[in-house]
C-alpha cells in the first residue's frame, strides 16, 4: 500500500500546484520553498526539500471552456490578424518608398563647414559684389604694367569686314583658312560683338571661371552667378557643381574636341565662341550651325570625338578673334624662363578677352599648385596635379607669373586665392 499511498499523495500535490498556478495567472508567481511531502509510514520524502526558490513550469488546463477563453484573450482572430498584417505591410512600404519621392532638406551652410581661409575669400567676394561697379577699373590698373601695350583694344570676335591677321596660321592667325572662314561667317547672322557686350557707358563685371581644383569646395557658386558676364572654358561642367562653380554661362570658349556633349550644359548658356586651332574647326562650326553633319572623312581628323549638335540658335555662336591668342602669347613670352614654342591656355586667353569686355574682371578656379602633385587638377574630376608635368603645349609657370602681376596691380581679382 506504500506505493498507492505515495501515488495518491503525489497526485494531490500536483493538483495543489495546478490550483495555485491557475489562481495566479494574472501576474502572480508561485514558488516552492522548503516544500516536502513525506510517506506516513516510513517518513521518507516523496518530494525532496527545495533548497532554492524554484519557478514552476506553467501547467495548462485541460478543460475546454478555460482554454478557449484564454485563447480569445491572448490571440487575434483571423480577420483581425489579416487586417493587422495589411496595416504592417503598408507601413513598411511607406517607410521605404515615401522618402525617395519627397524632396530632401538642403543642409544650411554654416561657418563650421568652411576652412577659415575659405571664409576670408567668401567675405572678400561678397564685399566686392556689394560695392558699386567701378568704370574702366581693369584698364586703368593695367596701363602702368610693362605688358599693357599689347593688351589694349584687341578685337574680341571675328567680323566679316574686320581686320584678320592672315600672316599667321591657327591658332595665332587664320592663314590658309580663308575659304573655311568665309563659309563659317556666312552661317553666322551676327558674327561681331553683340549689343549686350558693347561698351555703352554702363559698368559691367566679368568673372572667368577656370577649371582648377582650387574651385572644389569653394562655395563660390552663388557669387559667380551675380556677375554680368560669366566666361567658362571648354567642357568644364555646371550641372552638379553649381555650389562651387555657379549655374549660368554668358560665353563658353571651346574648340571642337573640348565642347560639352551634354545638351544640359548649354541650358543656361548665352553664347558659344569657337577658338580656331585648325581649318577643320571652322568646318565643324558651320556644321553645328547649319545642322548639316560633317563627312566621315572630316571627322577622323579630330583627335577626339566631337559633338554634332549644340542646342543654341545661330545668332548665339561666335568665332574668337585669333588676335586674342596672339597677343596673349606675346605677353607670356616675356614671362617665360626660356624661349618655347607654346600656346596660351584658354584660361589665360579668356582673361585677356575679359579685359576687353568688362570694367572689372575677377577670376575663380585659377592657379596650378605644382608643388603638390597629389592635389586635384580640376574641380570636376579626380585627375591629379602631377598630370600637368607631362604636357608641353602650355607654359603654366609663365601664365602664373603673368596673372600674379595682374592681381598685384589690381587689374583683376583672384576669388580663390591660388595665384
- pLDDT band at 187; cut points 50, 70, 90: very high
Select from 404, 408, 377, 403 the least CA-distant residue to 390: 377
Region of poorest pLDDT, from 115-124, 209-218, 378-387: 378-387
Select from 37, 29, 48 the least CA-distant residue to 13: 37
State the pLDDT at residue 282. 98
Average pLDDT over residues 13-35: 40
Percent of the chain with pLDDT over 70: 71
- pLDDT band at 101; cut points 50, 70, 90: very low
* CA 347/CA 207 separation, integer angstroms: 11
**294 pLDDT higher than 70:** yes
- In the sheet that holds 269-274, the strands lie side by side as 317-319, 269-274, 249-254, 229-233, 205-209, 360-364, 412-414
Q: Which three cell numbers stand for residue 396?
A: 603654366
Average pLDDT over residues 96-120: 52
**54 pLDDT higher than 60:** no
State the pLDDT at residue 322. 96
Better-scored residue on pLDDT, 327 or 18: 327
**191 pLDDT higher than 70:** yes
Q: What is the pLDDT of residues 155-181, one digit of tens each?
A: 999 998 877 777 899 999 999 999 999
Half-sphere exposure at residue 241, Cβ-oriented, CA atoms within 13 angstroms: 23
Residues β-bridged to residue 249: 269
**149 pLDDT higher than 70:** yes
State the pLDDT at residue 65. 46
Average pLDDT over residues 129-149: 93
Q: Cis peptide before 171, with omega less than 30 degrees from 0?
A: yes
* CA 369/CA 282 separation, integer angstroms: 35
Burial of 73: CB neighbours in 10 Å, binned 0-12, 13-18, 19+:
exposed
State the pLDDT at residue 389. 61
State the pLDDT at residue 341. 86
* CA 307/CA 288 separation, integer angstroms: 8
* CA 346/CA 257 separation, integer angstroms: 13
Average pLDDT over residues 311-339: 95
Q: What is the pLDDT of residues 371-418, one digit of tens each?
A: 666 678 789 887 777 666 656 688 888 999 999 999 999 999 999 998
Mean per-residue pLDDT over the chain, rounded = 80
Average pLDDT over residues 339-343: 87
Q: How far is CA 387 from CA 338, 368, 371, 373, 383, in A?
A: 22, 11, 12, 8, 7
State the pLDDT at residue 377. 79
Domain spans of the chain, in order of start: 2-59, 116-414
- pLDDT band at 63; cut points 50, 70, 90: very low
Q: What is the pLDDT of residues 242-272, one digit of tens each?
A: 999 999 999 999 999 999 999 999 999 999 9
Average pLDDT over residues 57-65: 45
Q: How far is CA 16 from CA 47, 55, 261, 396, in A?
A: 14, 15, 89, 99
Nearby residues of 225 by Cβ (< 8 Å), 6 or more positions away: 246, 247, 248
Q: How far is CA 71 from CA 28, 66, 76, 412, in A?
A: 19, 9, 8, 85
Superfamily, domain 116-414: Glycosyl transferase family 29 (3.90.1480.20)
State the pLDDT at residue 16. 36
State the pLDDT at residue 391. 62
State the pLDDT at residue 291. 96
State the pLDDT at residue 95. 53
CB atoms within 10 A of CB 306: 20
**19 pLDDT higher than 70:** no
**53 pLDDT higher than 60:** no
Average pLDDT over residues 331-356: 93
Q: Which three cell numbers stand for residue 367?
A: 592657379
**216 pLDDT higher than 70:** yes
* CA 219/CA 119 separation, integer angstroms: 10
State the pLDDT at residue 396. 86
State the pLDDT at residue 5. 46
**112 pLDDT higher than 50:** no
Amino acid at each position: 500500500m506504500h506505493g498507492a499511498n505515495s501515488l495518491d499523495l503525489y497526485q494531490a500535490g500536483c493538483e495543489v500546484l495546478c490550483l495555485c498556478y491557475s489562481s495566479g495567472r494574472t501576474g502572480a508567481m508561485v514558488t516552492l520553498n522548503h516544500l516536502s511531502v513525506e510517506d506516513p509510514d516510513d517518513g521518507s520524502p516523496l518530494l525532496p526539500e527545495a533548497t532554492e526558490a524554484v519557478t514552476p513550469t506553467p501547467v495548462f488546463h485541460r478543460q475546454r471552456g478555460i482554454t478557449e477563453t484564454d485563447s480569445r484573450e491572448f490571440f487575434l482572430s483571423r480577420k483581425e490578424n489579416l487586417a493587422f498584417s495589411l496595416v504592417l505591410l503598408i507601413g513598411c512600404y511607406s517607410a521605404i518608398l515615401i522618402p525617395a519621392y519627397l524632396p530632401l532638406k538642403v543642409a544650411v551652410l554654416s561657418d563650421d563647414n568652411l576652412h577659415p581661409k575659405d571664409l576670408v575669400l567668401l567675405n572678400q567676394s561678397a564685399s566686392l559684389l556689394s560695392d558699386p561697379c567701378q568704370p574702366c577699373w581693369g584698364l586703368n590698373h593695367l596701363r602702368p604694367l610693362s605688358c599693357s601695350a599689347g593688351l589694349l583694344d584687341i578685337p574680341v570676335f571675328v567680323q566679316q569686314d574686320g581686320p584678320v591677321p592672315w600672316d599667321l596660321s591657327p591658332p595665332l592667325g587664320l592663314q590658309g583658312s580663308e575659304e573655311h572662314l568665309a563659309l563659317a561667317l556666312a552661317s553666322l547672322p551676327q558674327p561681331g560683338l553683340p549689343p549686350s557686350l558693347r561698351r555703352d557707358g554702363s559698368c559691367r563685371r566679368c568673372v572667368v571661371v577656370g577649371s582648377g581644383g582650387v574651385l572644389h569646395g569653394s562655395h563660390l557658386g552663388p557669387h559667380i552667378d551675380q556677375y554680368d558676364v560669366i566666361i567658362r572654358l571648354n567642357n568644364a561642367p555646371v550641372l552638379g557643381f553649381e555650389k562651387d562653380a555657379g549655374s549660368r554661362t554668358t560665353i563658353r570658349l571651346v574648340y571642337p574636341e573640348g565642347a560639352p556633349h551634354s545638351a544640359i550644359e548649354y541650358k543656361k548658356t548665352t553664347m558659344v565662341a569657337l577658338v580656331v586651332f585648325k581649318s577643320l574647326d571652322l568646318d565643324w562650326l558651320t556644321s553645328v550651325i547649319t545642322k548639316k553633319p560633317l563627312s566621315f572623312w572630316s571627322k577622323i581628323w579630330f583627335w577626339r570625338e566631337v559633338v554634332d549638335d549644340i542646342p543654341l540658335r545661330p545668332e548665339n555662336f561666335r568665332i574668337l578673334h585669333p588676335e586674342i591668342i596672339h597677343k596673349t602669347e606675346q605677353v607670356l613670352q616675356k614671362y617665360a624662363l626660356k624661349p618655347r614654342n607654346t600656346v596660351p591656355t584658354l584660361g589665360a586667353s579668356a582673361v585677356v578677352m575679359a579685359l576687353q569686355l568688362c570694367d572689372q574682371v575677377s577670376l575663380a578656379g585659377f592657379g596650378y599648385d605644382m608643388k603638390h602633385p597629389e592635389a586635384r587638377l580640376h574641380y570636376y574630376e579626380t585627375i591629379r596635379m602631377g598630370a600637368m608635368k607631362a604636357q608641353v603645349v602650355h607654359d603654366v609657370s609663365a601664365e602664373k607669373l603673368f596673372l600674379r602681376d595682374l592681381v598685384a596691380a589690381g587689374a583683376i581679382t583672384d576669388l580663390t586665392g591660388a595665384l
